[in-house]
Amino acid sequence: MSDGTGKQAMIQLRGVNKMFGDFQALYDINLDVYQGERVVICGPSGSGKSTLIRCINRLEEHETGEIIVDGIRLDDDTRKIAEIRAEIGMVFQLFNLFPHLSVLDNCTLGPMKARGISRTEAQKLAMRYLEKVRIPEQAGKYPSQLSGGQQQRVAIARSLCMSPKIMLFDEPTSALDPEMIKEVLDVMIELAETGMTMICVTHEMGFAKTVADKMIFMDEGRIVEEATPAEFFTNPKNDRTKLFLSQILLH
């Protein structure tokens, strides 16, 4: 698969279906994400956005279809899955920081225990990313002592410490108070500017307009619309997209 420049897609989904028991959460998903591309996924609650990005790092296992990440096909081979997971960072809606570890230790755990980097090296790395997300002074604190916005920035730093090739964001700001949303989005915009390949599930349309290369709208387990931001916001083709946009922009 290639785009106009002949580049290989970093993430390829071909005809992916996902069931939860009898309930089909994803229908025939096809998606290409190229290196450095920023994709924003939106859609109503329950439309399968989380399921889609969780299939990419195999937090969920798809039933049929093909998912290829950085040339590696996702199947039952656990060694490959560990390899792929190490390349994909993920930021969760509810942060999922390790509450028993300090901010610094949250960031060094992966590099030290999964990559075998020495403590001093890992701490240097962690401090570099904590500075990038602008909270180096909180390194010694525990997650419960931080605000939601600060916790989410730690979660981003923790992911970046694994030097991922891809970052997945699952509604990273929807659990935050309004005044903290911006500090997290700013960090994400800066990350986008570094050329990181990103897939963001979010309803922050301002953010989407700023960084997205591609907009995806999902409904009832299907990708209903895929377009550039310019097209997506000014001239959506699908009626459900129009309805959704009108509702969300009214907010």
Partner 1 sequence: MPAIDVAQSANSGKKLNRRKVRWWKSRTFDFLQFIALIAFVVWITWRSAAAMDYRWQWYRLPKYFYRIIDGELIWGPLINGMFVTLEIAAWGMVLTLIIGLITAILRLSDSFAGQVLARTYLETIRNTPLLVQVSIFYFVLQPILGINNPLWTGILALAFFEGSFASEIIRAGINSVPRGQWEASSTVGLSKAKTYIYVILPQAVPLMLPPLTGILVNLVKHSAILSFVAVFELTTEARNLIGDTFMSFEIWFTIGAMYLVVTITLSTLVGVLERRIGRGR
Q: Which residues of this chain interact with Mg ion, rule CB under 5 A?
A: 50
Asked whether position 57 contacts ligand ADP by CB under 6 A, the answer is no
User: 41 vs 133, which CB is nearer to Mg ion?
Assistant: 41
Residue 131 CB-half CA count within 13 A: 5
Binds 122: which of ligand ADP, Mg ion, partner 1, none (CB < 5-8 Å by kind): none
User: 50 vs 108, which CB is nearer to Mg ion?
Assistant: 50
User: 42 vs 146, which CB is nearer to ligand ADP?
Assistant: 42
DSSP string covering 130-152, please?
Answer: HHHTT-GGGTTS-GGGS-HHHHH
Shortest distance (Å) from residue 52 CB to ligand ADP: 7
- Cα separation of 98 and 3, whole Å? 40
- Cα separation of 162 and 3, whole Å? 28
Please give the order of strands across the beta sheet that includes 88-91.
88-91, 166-170, 197-201, 38-42, 214-219, 222-227
Measured over the CA atoms of residue 193, residue 31, residue 60 and residue 174, the dihedral's sign is positive
Binds 46: which of Mg ion, partner 1, ligand ADP, none (CB < 5-8 Å by kind): ligand ADP
Residue 13 CB-half CA count within 13 A: 24
Please give the order of strands across the beta sheet that includes 9-20.
23-34, 9-20, 64-69, 72-73
Kind of pairing between the strands at 72-73 and 64-69: antiparallel
User: 23 vs 100, which CB is nearer to ligand ADP?
Assistant: 23
Stretch that binds partner 1, among 27-35, 38-46, 83-91, 232-240 (CB under 8 A): 83-91
Binds 94: which of partner 1, ligand ADP, Mg ion, none (CB < 5-8 Å by kind): partner 1
Binds 162: which of Mg ion, ligand ADP, partner 1, none (CB < 5-8 Å by kind): partner 1
Binds 143: which of ligand ADP, Mg ion, partner 1, none (CB < 5-8 Å by kind): none
Residues of this chain, 99-138, that bind partner 1 according to CB under 8 A: 99-100, 109-110, 113-115
Q: Tokens for 146?
A: 């931080």
Binding to partner 1 by CB under 8 A, coded x per residue (else -) over 40-59, reads -----------------x-x
Kind of pairing between the strands at 9-20 and 64-69: antiparallel
- Cα separation of 153 and 132, whole Å? 9
Which positions lie near partner 1, rule CB under 8 A?
57, 59, 82, 85-86, 88-90, 92, 94, 96-100, 109-110, 113-115, 142, 144, 155, 158-159, 161-162
Which positions lie near ligand ADP, rule CB under 6 A?
20, 23, 25, 43, 45-51
